[in-house]
Amino acid sequence: MGTVQVENVTKKFGDRVAVDNVSFEVRDGELMCLLGPSGAGKSTILRIIAGLEPPDAGNIRIDGKAVNDLPPKDRDLAMMFQSYALYPNKTVYGNLAFPLKSYKVPEAEIKKRVSDVAETLGITPLLRRLPGQLSGGERQRVAMGRAIIRNPKAFLLDEPLTNLDAKLRVNMRAELKRLQRELGATTIFATPDQLEALTMSDRIAIMNQGRIFQDSSPETIYDRPKDIFTATFVGSPAMNILDCTIEEKKGRVVLSTGEFSLDVAGLAELIRKGTSGPEALLGVRPEHIMLTRDKAGTHSIGAEVYVTERTRPEQIVHLKVGKAMMQAIAPLAFQCEPGQRVWMTIDLGKIHVFDKLTQNAIV
């Protein structure tokens, strides 16, 4: 296995910048996730790394060696496509054996490796079937097998789970993760699904409009998003974002949303230093709001229940706070009806404040 470095890569399609000066490095054995909405440039980056697309600027290094001028087959990478791209008129065996045949591996060795890989992925009984006779999950396994059989320096997975139904996707998520660990495979994984990214990766790069917004561990991405895009894209239900102004009252810093004010004494220094003006955005994750039926203390804020989604094992409570809408997560046992008055207490240690102008995080 090896390392992959992407250095200042830019790619344009006509006037549209698909990838805008992107750099990152994937360490040996690491599972790195490119997370972003469709059109963010994730697939383009994978294709550039694979050599299917030449970059307009920048370098790709594999194990430290620049591979810009190498054709795809000499880069020693395996890519798995969203459509799986199995060879329709080859059997599963033929599909698995194909990459080895191209590299002139002896027949006996091919046989052994195919049966090993088939064993690992539990597809031995399918070896003589054609891709058209397989279910979605089985196809996905075969595609995975075709990628791992060559023992490449790194895997590039382009939305490998997107085409599976919901239940299978959750199963395959775990299995893919286990397989990646077992093989110690350096992996770059593109997905629009934040849950996949959070559960599977060692590191996440948040992408939008061709740029990387934040490149950190899943924990950091979730707990300390650097900007408003990352904050709202990761997490389900999404983070509550409210317009607010930063006010100084008798030496204390208060965030005032118009509906309620938060006295953020502990964060005063950070806010004073980081802000470019009084306009700011307050971010609160739904799980950091505690709901009570009665006023719990001086910090409690009155709200009206708008609707509840009982997702189980919890419920998402949509709240009307003055004119603003917010979401909070509450235990199922917390009984509330639409229209009912409840009180929310925001965990002040876990709030996020973003500069309205730069969209960057202050706290």
Partner 1 sequence: MAYRKRSLSRRIAVYVCVLLVLSFILSPYILGIVTSFETEVELVRRPPFPFKPITPVLDNYIYILSYKPFALAFIDSALVAITTTCFVMIAGSMGAFAIAHLRFRGRNFLFNFVVVVYMLPALAMLIPIVVLLKELTLLDTIIGMVFAHSILLLPLMTWFLVGIFEGVPPDILEAMQLDGTSRLKSLFREVIPLSRFGFFLILVFSFVTSWNDLMFANTVGIVQVKLLQPRILEFMSGARVLFTQMAAAGILSSLPVVVLAIVLQKQIIAGIMKGAIK
Q: How far is the CB of 118 from partner 1 (least distance, A)?
A: 17
- Structure-token pair, residue 262: 């938060």
Q: Does residue number 52 form part of the binding site for partner 1 (CB under 8 A)?
A: yes
Binding flag, residue 16, partner 1 (CB under 8 A): no
Q: Any contact of residue 89 with partner 1 (CB under 8 A)?
A: yes
CB of 52 to partner 1, least distance (A): 5
Query: Does 105 help bind partner 1 (rule: CB under 8 A)?
Result: no
User: What are the angstrom distances between the C-alpha of 307 and each of 74, 142, 235, 346?
Assistant: 57, 44, 20, 19
Closest residue by Cα to residue 36 from 25, 26, 46: 46
Contact residue for partner 1 among 8, 16, 68, 103 (CB under 8 A): 103
Distance in Å, CB of 101 to partner 1, minimum: 9
Token reading at 209: 């409009």
Region from 43-51, 118-126, 223-231, 276-284 binding partner 1, contact rule CB under 8 A: 43-51
Q: Which of 18, 79, 142, 301 binds partner 1 (CB under 8 A)?
A: 79
Please, are residues 191 and 197 in contact by the beta-carbon 8 Å criterion? yes
Whose tokens are 């033929």? That residue is 94
Residue 128 in contact with residue 114, Cβ under 8 Å?
Answer: no
Strand order in the sheet with 65-66: 16-26, 4-13, 57-62, 65-66
Among 36, 99, 137, 210, binds partner 1 (CB under 8 A): 99
User: Is 109 an interacting residue with respect to partner 1 (CB under 8 A)?
Assistant: no
- Give whichever of 49 and 200 is closer to partner 1, judged by the CB atom: 49
Token pair of 216 as six digits = 């950190």
Count residues contacting partner 1 (CB under 8 A)? Answer: 25
The residue among 72 and 274 lying less far from partner 1, judged by its C-beta, is 72
Compute the least distance from the CB of residue 102 to partner 1, in Å: 4
Q: What's the gap between Cα 232 and its chain centre?
A: 12
Buried b (16+ CB within 10 A) or exposed e, 302-328: ebebeebeeeeeebbbbbbbeebebbb
**What is d(CA 89, CA 86) in angstroms, rounded to the nearest whole number?**
9
Query: By CB under 8 A, which span of 4-12, 76-84, 174-182, 313-321 interacts with partner 1?
Result: 76-84
- Position 72 contacts partner 1 (CB under 8 A): yes
Phi, psi of 19 (to 5 degrees): -135, 125
Closest to 319 in 3D by CA, of 296, 297, 343, 303: 303
Task: Quote the least distance from Cβ 90 to partner 1, whole Å.
Answer: 9
Nearer to partner 1, 73 or 252 (CB): 73
CB-based contact 240:281 (threshold 8 Å): no
Of 83, 151, 171, 340, the one binding partner 1 by CB under 8 A: 83
- Among 102, 276, 311, 335, which residue interacts with partner 1 (rule: CB under 8 A)? 102
Rg (C-alpha) for the chain, rounded Å, is 25
Query: Which of these ranges, 62-70, 82-90, 234-242, 244-252, lies near partner 1 under the rule CB under 8 A?
Result: 82-90
Distance of CA 114 to the CA centre of its chain: 32
Which residues partner with 280 through β-bridges? Answer: 244, 355
Can residue 162 be called a binding residue for partner 1 (CB under 8 A)? no
Q: Does 73 bind partner 1 (CB under 8 A)?
A: yes
Residue 269 CB neighbour total at 10 angstroms: 9
Binding residues (CB under 8 A) for partner 1: these are 47, 50-52, 71-73, 77-79, 81-89, 98-99, 102-103, 146, 150
